[in-house]
Structures are given as C-alpha cells and as structure tokens.
Structure 1
C-alpha cells in the first residue's frame, strides 16, 4: 500500500507517526480507488464529510496534505505514472496565541508531575521543540559553561535545533533534576525516556485555566517574549534554530517594540503643523 510505503520511507520523522492517525479517515474514503481515479470532486466530498462530522478545516487540510505527499512520493519513486491533483480546503489563519512569562510560571506550578513541570520549563527557556526537549540527555547539558545542546549527532534532527544558554531559573530546576536523575534523559519518568507529555501538559493547562494552548504555543511564546523585549531578530533566529533569519523576521518582527516606529513618524502631520 502506498500510504504505508511512504510512512516507512519517512522513518522516525514526526509526520510518520501523525499519518498513523490521519490514515484512518483518509484510507476509509480513498482506499478503494486507484490513484488515477482520485478526482477533485472526490477530494471535495471528503472535505465536506469530515467537516460535517465536526472535524476542523485545519485538520482536513492536514489529512489531504498527507495524501498529496503520498501521491507525490509514489510518482517520484515510479510506483505510479502520475500523482493525481489533491484539492485541499484553504489552510485557516492560525490563531494568535502566546503566553506571558507569568502564564508560563502558572503553568509550571500547575503541573502535578515533576517531569511535566521540568519539560514545560525547558520548552520555554530553550524555545526548543518538544521532540528536542524529550530527546535531551545529560551529556548535552553543560552546567559549568551554562549551555544546552539540543542537537543530536545525525543530520535529520539538527534542523531547527540550537545550542542555547541556561538562565538562572532553569539552572536551579536542572540542578534539582540532576540530583534525582535515574537515566541519561533529562525529562524522565520511572528511569525511562518520556515518549509524550501531551496528557500531563493538557491537564496542567486545565488547572491553570489557560485555554487554546498547545505545546507549540510555548515555543511561540518564548520567541514573542524575546522579540518584544528588544532582542535582535538575528539572535532570536539563532535561539530558535532558524537557518534563515528572514523566516524569524516575517513571523515575529511585528512584536518588536521599534517595529514600524519610523514609518509612524513619517505619517505624523501634527509635527508638520507645528513647524509652520
């Protein structure tokens, strides 16, 4: 099956795991058709049925995106003659949601398990992705130099991962965790690497009464906090592990306190009147 073949080809990438969930709906709808039988109307019918069942437009966009990627992979590997056109509903505009430092502190305090609290602290203080934080081992935490290396040796996981300094608050949390460590992983439970913190994180959000918050919100909040405090975009890009600062600029420049200030001065007609 093409879907399973593409998942195997992805290996350990996060998309492979996600496709284990999205495939249930996609294959139920498209599984009986050959690639050359997939039409625009079939894609539209899928989108209508899924959204009528209460599935968000964003989720449907992702599901059909996985189908499109599968077909493209199959064509590239000459498993099919040509990839069909997969029409998707427009990707919805993402909701602007970020947390203040006070919100993050409340979230950490609301975590019942120590490893959840530590993971949230690491997510914000390093601006790292959840996969990087859960992969982190003690040999990449340099207490003496005060740095954390979120990168792994293989090239696949180096993308988007940085080497970042440890602030005082995180240093205290890490020292406590190091004393109680039972494994090589910084975030652990029962002496083993933690595969997911989603349930514990969502429970902490509930207790802290924070809505519309995802794990990625923490990384986004860290970036907003840095930029809004006047940290140069180039430094924020390095912190986030962005190889191209223009990506960081396009996403976060509007949060900089000086952003568009010069443009606003040009439009100040009151000064013009005063000069007359």
Structure 2
C-alpha cells in the first residue's frame, strides 16, 4: 500500500499524504466505511499523484509503482533486471509520448546488441503491463500501444534420457545434479524446484507437492509421484540435509543454478540447451511414450489441456496416423 493515511473529515473519511513539496495533501473520500475508504484512498492517491499533464508521471515512476504493487511476486523481481534496459530507453518519457517507432527502435537496438528476440518480447511485455496497470488505476487516461516483436517459435530441441543422465553425472556440485534430476523427474519449472521444501516431499506416499500455499506465482504447479530413481536421489539428499530446502548449498536456499547447469552442459558435451529444455524434454518423453495428454497436462500443471495438446500433441506416437490413412488412395495389388 502507498505511504498514505486514512482520517476523518466532515463526518466522513479522507486520505492524506506528504507531497513532494513537504506539505500535507488531504482529499475528501466518498466512502462511508473504513474498508471502502482504504480501497478508495489508493485510487485517489494514484490518480492525484500521477495525474496526466505536461508534468505527469514518467514511465520510470509508473514502472516502480507497478513493481511496488506486485509486492513479492516473481515478476517484481524479474522487472528489476528487465527495467535496466527498458528504463534506459523509455524511462524519461511520459506514457503519452511513447510511439510505435520508439518501441521499434528499442527492439532494433537490443537485438543488434545480441539480445534474443524472446528476451526483447518479454521486456516490452513488462512495459505493456505497467502501462495497463497505470490506466487501470487511473494514473493515466489511456495506456499507449506497445509494439513488440513476435514471440519466437519454441525450439524443437529436447533431451533424451541418456543426455539427461549425462547432465546429472557432469554436475560438479551435488545440489546441481539433484536439481537437474528433480527438473526432469517432476517436469517442474526451475522456480518450483528451488522453492521445494522437505515438508512437501512425502517419501512414504511417494509424492512431491510443488505447489505453494500462498500461490505467489501464476504459473501452474502440480503434485506428482516420485519415481524409483528420484526416490534414491532424494533419500541420499535427505540424509545430508542442513536446511528445509531440498536443493541447498551450505545449508541455505539456492537462488539460481544457472552457472552450475551451464558448466554441466559443457562437460557433458551437449549443445543448444537451456534450463527450460529439461521441462520440455520431460513432456516430450511422456507424450512419446504414449501417456495420455490429459495426464501430461496434469503433470505439467497446465489448467488447460488444449495448451498441452497444441504444444506436445505432435510427439504422440499415433498423432495424425488416422488422418494419413484417410488420405490413402493407392490400393496395393497382391503379387502372385
């Protein structure tokens, strides 16, 4: 919540805060209850503070306000990094000054500097989200159009089980090998695996719960079974555990495994692989083994099976086989 206070005024409620000039600003509210006043006060504060004018809020100010509003959600952390490039280009502009050409020049400059099209798509997506937030909260009259380069087609690269085994064996630190094993065996996202605590690993029932009670992430997470290989790895890790986290280093939660993973990739002699490739590979392995799409969707934490089918349906052994037969017109003659 912004740095504001609720008070009483003329039989009702008011909101007040300290302005940029150091003086107190006060505004009468329409609310008749304290709860209504707290909700209205936020809108009034933002509308007054960021009222669009020649001296209105800049993109940088709105960006930071949006990050504060996100609180401890993962996107807020990601925006600390994407904001370095986005704000260097757009930060000093007001939203009404953003043009299509300004967006295109940003994309050109970033990709010329070697940044991937997918990363640029994400960065401009954060800008778009912050502008939508500003419009929704009446900081600006209308959000500008943010043009983004197309989202790149997902790479077809996926790992075989032998390659995954080589990756695990090539990990120098035990926690990196365990993390890779967990990523493949649970088909979970990196954040879910690094968030995993021992209280959500039920070895008696053979189940791992990747979900967080506070639902801090909008990305789906699942409850999945533990296969034999992973069970053995988890039993070894549990015996040496120094913290509540399954993937730990020196008794502390691990925030990233990127460097350790990239080192394992080099030593394993594997190319064109990212951390997300492991989740993708797990999905392909399940589908190509004949596991029904509905079950794969549940394993991946997808709430919409259509997404799972559109992404992985082509890997199913019988995919489109019936359609091919329907197009058959050549009749084979028996040879006497």
TM-score bracket for the superposition, by shorter chain length = over 0.9
Higher relative contact order (CA 8 A, sep 6+): 1
Residue 76 of structure 1 and its aligned partner are, at CA, apart by 0.6
Give the aligned partner of residue 226 of structure 1: 286
TM-score relative to the length of structure 1 = 0.95
Give the aligned partner of residue 310 of structure 2: 250
C-alpha RMSD of the superposition:
1.5
TM-score relative to the length of structure 2 = 0.79
Residue of structure 2 aligned with 1:210, choices 250, 267, 270: 270
Give the aligned partner of residue 130 of structure 1: 190
Residue 215 of structure 1 and its aligned partner are, at CA, apart by 1.1
C-alpha contact 1:183 1:192 (8 A) present in aligned 2: yes
C-alpha contact 2:117 2:151 (8 A) present in aligned 1: yes
Gaps of 5+ in 2: 1-60
C-alpha contact 2:220 2:301 (8 A) present in aligned 1: yes
Gaps of 5+ in 1: none
Cα distance change of structure 1 residues 90 and 202 upon mapping to structure 2, 3 Å threshold: same
Q: Any idea what the Cα deviations from partners look like across 1:163-216, whole Å, max 9, x if unmatched?
A: 111100001001100111111111111111111111111111111121221111
Report the secondary structure of 2:216's partner residue: helix
Residue of structure 2 aligned with 1:70, choices 130, 134, 144: 130
Give the aligned partner of residue 106 of structure 2: 46
Higher strand share: 2
Give the aligned partner of residue 196 of structure 1: 256
Which residues in structure 2 correspond to 1:1-276 (within 5 Å)? Answer: 1-157=61-217, 159-270=219-330, 272-274=331-333
C-alpha contact 1:151 1:158 (8 A) present in aligned 2: no
Following the alignment from structure 1 to structure 2, what is the Cα–Cα distance between the partners of residues 159 and 33? 32
C-alpha contact 2:72 2:216 (8 A) present in aligned 1: no
Residue 274 of structure 1 and its aligned partner are, at CA, apart by 3.8
Following the alignment from structure 2 to structure 1, what is the Cα–Cα distance between the partners of residues 216 and 123? 24
Residue 141 of structure 1 and its aligned partner are, at CA, apart by 0.9
Residue 217 of structure 1 and its aligned partner are, at CA, apart by 0.8
**Count of aligned pairs:** 274
Q: Any idea what the Cα deviations from partners look like across 1:104-126, whole Å, max 9, x if unmatched?
A: 00000000000000000000000
Report the secondary structure of 2:92's partner residue: coil
Residue 273 of structure 1 and its aligned partner are, at CA, apart by 4.8
Cα distance change of structure 1 residues 68 and 158 upon mapping to structure 2, 3 Å threshold: closer
C-alpha contact 2:95 2:144 (8 A) present in aligned 1: yes
Q: Any idea what the Cα deviations from partners look like across 1:116-147, whole Å, max 9, x if unmatched?
A: 00000000000011111111111111111111
C-alpha contact 1:148 1:163 (8 A) present in aligned 2: yes
Following the alignment from structure 2 to structure 1, what is the Cα–Cα distance between the partners of residues 293 and 63? 40
Higher helix share: 1
